Structure 1
């Protein structure tokens, strides 16, 4: 994997780079992620917050309550609406990049599934991944599984 990753919104107004290796990648099947992705789940690539640099444009922010009851600030392009990042008030040192906004997504391999209890019935949940019916109390196993697969 590269030490620098780049991405941006659909219209190209916002561009970013990530200057560190990701900590994990998981799929979230909560109803909010289904709505924001207009799909069956959202993909979240957790990275150190200070590794993300906006190199063009300025995202807009909207804060909502997650299914877990915690607050999430959603950062998106004000022009095309592409969701780029999720900032979680309970995890100030990391940020979730919406992985589909990366320029190269060919290397992405999720290690877990969150909120499987609200997954669409046709989605196949692999037993080879870490699976949680709701929000995990501890995300370290997701980080460990990612590190194990990328060492």
Structure 2
């Protein structure tokens, strides 16, 4: 499946190939901190299939909880996180951040990882009142 994506401000755009149902939800504390959220969801792109059609993302290389070095791609203008990939520039496998993918609603998670770090309140989130807009 061909997918497309971009950062919030539109300075970075990309296209990639991905298979359906290859979304991972990561609950590790690094993903929580780096996403400023309770978890991070990624769509795994086919190896070497990501092509940047506009702009070039900036990268920050971090050491993951697993010990692996991971390049974190983001927009240098608006700060949108776009992906994580291996540190080497060749044979890259991208985990594309689902919020930046245009077709994000067409995918569903296939697995959750680092579940020991899951925030406990996520188990009861379906019981929290939901509103179409900000409640008055």
Q: Give the alignment's TM-score, normalised by structure 1.
A: 0.74
Q: Which range moves more in the overlay, 99-108 or 77-86?
A: 99-108
- Name which structure has the greater RCO, CA cutoff 8 Å, separation 6+: 2
CA contact (8 A) 2:12 2:54 kept: yes
SS where residue 60 of structure 2 aligns?
strand
- TM-score, normalisation: structure 2: 0.82
Tell me if structure 1 keeps the 8 A contact 2:21–2:110.
Answer: no
In structure 2, which of residues 58, 61, 64 is the aligned counterpart of residue 60 of structure 1? Answer: 58
Question: Aligned to 1:18, what secondary structure does the other structure show?
Answer: strand
Contact 1:23/1:47 (<8 A) preserved:
no
In the alignment, is the contact (CA less than 8 A) between 1:23 and 1:48 conserved in 2?
Answer: no
Q: Which runs of 5+ in 1 are unaligned?
A: 126-151
Between the two proteins, the alignment pairs up a number of residues equal to: 123
Q: Which runs of 5+ in 2 are unaligned?
A: 125-136
Q: Which residue of 2 aligns with 1:134?
A: none
**CA-based RMSD:** 2.1
Q: Compared with structure 1, are the counterparts of its residues 52 and 96 closer, same or farther at alpha carbon in structure 2 (3 Å cutoff)?
A: same
1:35 to 24, 33, 36: 33
Aligned match of 2:96: 97
Higher strand proportion (structure 1 or 2): 2
